[in-house]
Amino acid sequence: MATEVTPKVALAGFRRILGADAVLTDRDAIAPCLTDHRKLYEGTALAVLRPGSVDEVSQLLAFCNGTRIGVVPQGGNTGYCGGATPDGSGRQVVLSLARLARLRSIDATNHSMIAEAGCILANLQREAEAVDRYFPLSLGSEGSCQVGGNLSTNAGGLNVLRYGMARDLALGLEVVLADGRVLSSLGGLRKDNTGYDLKSLFIGAEGTLGVITAACLKLFPRPRAVATAFVAVRSVAAAVDLLNLLREASGDRLSSFELIPHVAIELTTRHIPGVAQPLAGEYPWCVLCELGSARAADPLDSMLENALRDAMDGGLLDDAALAQNERQRAAFWRLRESIPEAQRHEGASLKHDIALPIASLARFVDEASAWIASNLPEAMLVAYGHVGDGNLHFNVNARAGTDPLRLVARADEVQRVVHDLVASLGGSISAEHGIGRLKVPELERYAPPAKLDLMRAIKHALDPNGIMNPGKVLRSA
Ligand code: FAD
Ligand code: 2HG
Ligand code: ZN
């Protein structure tokens, strides 16, 4: 039987389950949990709850399900779509996973590790390295995002081309369902065809179907040879040709292929201390590419150099710099990973995280850039990203010193043009950042009706009372 309870009774219930110290209500202490990384949303909450065990998460969800209190799971709170921010109703709690941060086990033989949801991504990369293995998920936010958040957003990042997205790296999950039951598949099996793949439902669900409390993650042999280059390509079409040339020439050892426009180099060198121009000249488009191999003796530098020479002879490139040492490699990556921060320093940004069939990327960039140039001449287009995966961050930025509100007032119009073009080319309006609260109307507009119907049916089956992250991904019923 459902019983709605007063805030006082709810708080007493939470304290009974967690103890008083793990139920935060002090305004200043909880303020950072009530807004998102981009400061697009601000909400309120009955409390921020910090469970320290799976059993506590289970008891909390059973209690919230019975009392119809909305639960907003929160990891590192680095998400881009407002998915971890509560609404303004005051009838929701933020469920922080920060205290569930144990590496339960690591198995070099099985190439796997079992990590709790609150583990910080960069810590897991280090844990893998300590047993001579590699965990390839890598994002600019890896120092603060959590693996539970990575799985819940199905994060992508810088190594997807070779190793896949977060979904591809999960062998199994432990999930607490909305009614408090625990579903676990942490056995580390690579083969298990016993019915529906339930874990996949929770990956990319952004906390709307249950709370991920732990995951069994795939590890790989550690790359012992790496070759990295910063390359000036003639055009986006040339970048796509180079991508295919490098994949073939390296026997598919290409792990990253990131498109970087001149404006991003200009922004990062101006706003981020220590970032330097990687090439002597100024070129409209560059690519940061990296080959990796588990065999130390693989001659990756010469492989990359020869492939780039062929590309230069074929008219794809104007210039290239190969990283001569780890310091130079880190400098190239620092430039790339600082682009979001540099953009933030410059001004407000209209972000479009889109995916396209690789063959349509150049056409998209040509058409969408032409529209921006003639309709928003005062704005700065910063189109960059994981082109090896067909994923562009097609961001339109306000220039420093201009009124950001004038750009923000055009956000819906720009989004419509960009997303309509993406849809007409067979692409996706969310490649790696998810839907959250930000893109609910966009999902409703572009998703096929049968997909939306099935998503709603799954939501209802797993969370009939609608307590899990209400209003995210799908509109509240
Ligand atoms: P949060 O922001 O806390 O939560 C995200 C969503 O997941 C919310 O809906 C939340 O409710 C839900 N959630 C969190 N934990 C759980 C859990 N345990 N169980 C159920 N639901 C949960 N993203 C990319 O994909 N690729 C990038 O290259 C990339 N680069 C970034 C660079 C920067 C500088 C920044 C700030 C962000 C970047 N991101 C990128 C976005 C962001 O870091 C990712 O989406 C990340 O996966 C979010 O993890 P988090 O722990 O911060 O999750
Ligand atoms: C990246 O690839 C992130 O750096 C951030 O996904 C993208 O800020 C953005 O638009
Ligand atoms: Zn990205």
% of the chain exceeding 90 in pLDDT: 97
Number of domains the chain contains = 3
pLDDT at 1 over 80: no
41 occurs within a structural domain: no
206 occurs within a structural domain: yes
176, 205 Cβ separation under 8 angstroms? no
pLDDT at 461 over 80: yes
289, 235 Cβ separation under 8 angstroms? no
434 occurs within a structural domain: no
Mean pLDDT of 106-126: 98
217 alpha carbon to ligand 2 midpoint, in Å?
24
Residues 6+ apart with CB under 8 A from 205: 152, 473
Q: What is the best residue among 334, 338, 353 to mutate for testing ligand 2's pocket, by most ligand atoms within 8 Å of CB?
A: 353
Q: Domain of residue 112: give its range.
A: 103-221
12 occurs within a structural domain: no
Type of residue numbered 450: A
The CATH number of the domain holding residue 206 is 3.30.465.10
Same domain, 367 and 407: yes
pLDDT at 2 over 90: no
The residue among 221, 255, 288 that closes a domain is 221
Q: List, in sequence order, every residue forming a beta bridge with 287; answer none if it has no partner.
A: 231, 259
Same domain, 394 and 355: yes
With a 6 A CB cut-off, is 140 part of the ligand 2 pocket?
yes
SS (H, E, C) 87-156: CCCCCEEEEECCCCCCEEEEECCCCEEEEECCCEHHHHHHHHHHCCEECCCECCCCCCCEHHHHHHHCCC
| CA distances (Å), origin 280, targets 141, 230, 296 | 29, 11, 31
450 occurs within a structural domain: no
Ligand with minimal distance to 100 CA = 1
60, 17 Cβ separation under 8 angstroms? yes
Q: What is the pLDDT of residue 331?
A: 97
Q: Which residues line ligand 1 (CB under 6 A)?
A: 37, 72-80, 83-84, 97, 117, 139-141, 145-146, 148-150, 152-153, 155-157, 206-207, 211-212, 340, 432-433, 436, 469, 472
Angle between helices 7-18 and 54-67 (to 10 degrees): 160
| CA distances (Å), origin 209, targets 200, 459, 463 | 11, 6, 6
With a 6 A CB cut-off, is 86 part of the ligand 2 pocket?
no
Same domain, 217 and 230: no
In the sheet with 70-74, reading across from the earlier edge strand, the strands are 23-24, 48-49, 92-96, 70-74
Q: How far apart are CA 339 and CA 266, in angstroms?
A: 10
Q: What is the DSSP string of 150-183?
A: HHHHT--BSSHHHH--GGGGEEEEEEEETTS-EE
Element (H, E) at 355: strand 353-355
190 occurs within a structural domain: yes
The residue among 339, 369, 396 that closes a domain is 339
Q: How far apart are CA 46 and CA 43, in angstroms?
A: 11
Mean pLDDT of 196-206: 98
pLDDT tens-place string over residues 380-433: 999 999 999 999 999 999 988 889 899 999 999 999 999 999 999 999 999 999
Q: How far apart are CA 92 and CA 103, in angstroms?
A: 29
Same domain, 203 and 308: no
Same domain, 195 and 252: no
27 occurs within a structural domain: no
**Ligand 2 atom at shortest distance from the alpha carbon of 340:** 8
Same domain, 290 and 351: no
Same domain, 418 and 353: yes
Q: What is the best residue among 64, 152, 169 to mutate for testing ligand 1's pocket, by most ligand atoms within 8 Å of CB?
A: 152
How much is the mean pLDDT over the chain?
A: 97
Q: What is the pLDDT of residue 159?
A: 97
Alpha helices in 376-448 (DSSP H): 404-408, 411-424, 440-446
What per-residue string of b and e applies to 315-339 under the rule 16 or more CB within 10 Å gives b? Answer: ebbbbbbbbeeeeebebbbebbbbb
Q: What is the pLDDT of residue 334?
A: 97
Question: Shortest CA distance to 287 belongs to which of 329, 325, 332?
Answer: 332
With a 6 A CB cut-off, is 351 part of the ligand 2 pocket?
yes
Q: What is the best residue among 145, 259, 381, 393 to mutate for testing ligand 2's pocket, by most ligand atoms within 8 Å of CB?
A: 393
pLDDT tens-place string over residues 51-104: 999 999 999 999 999 999 999 999 999 999 999 999 999 999 999 999 999 999
Same domain, 207 and 264: no
User: Sorting pLDDT into bands at 50, 70 and 90, what band is 4?
Assistant: confident
Q: How far apart are CA 347 and CA 408, in angstroms?
A: 11
User: Is the pTM value of this prediction over 0.95?
Assistant: yes
Mean pLDDT of 140-166: 98
| CA distances (Å), origin 234, targets 237, 239, 255, 290, 383 | 8, 8, 22, 19, 16
pLDDT tens-place string over residues 283-322: 999 999 999 999 999 999 999 999 999 999 999 999 999 9
196 occurs within a structural domain: yes
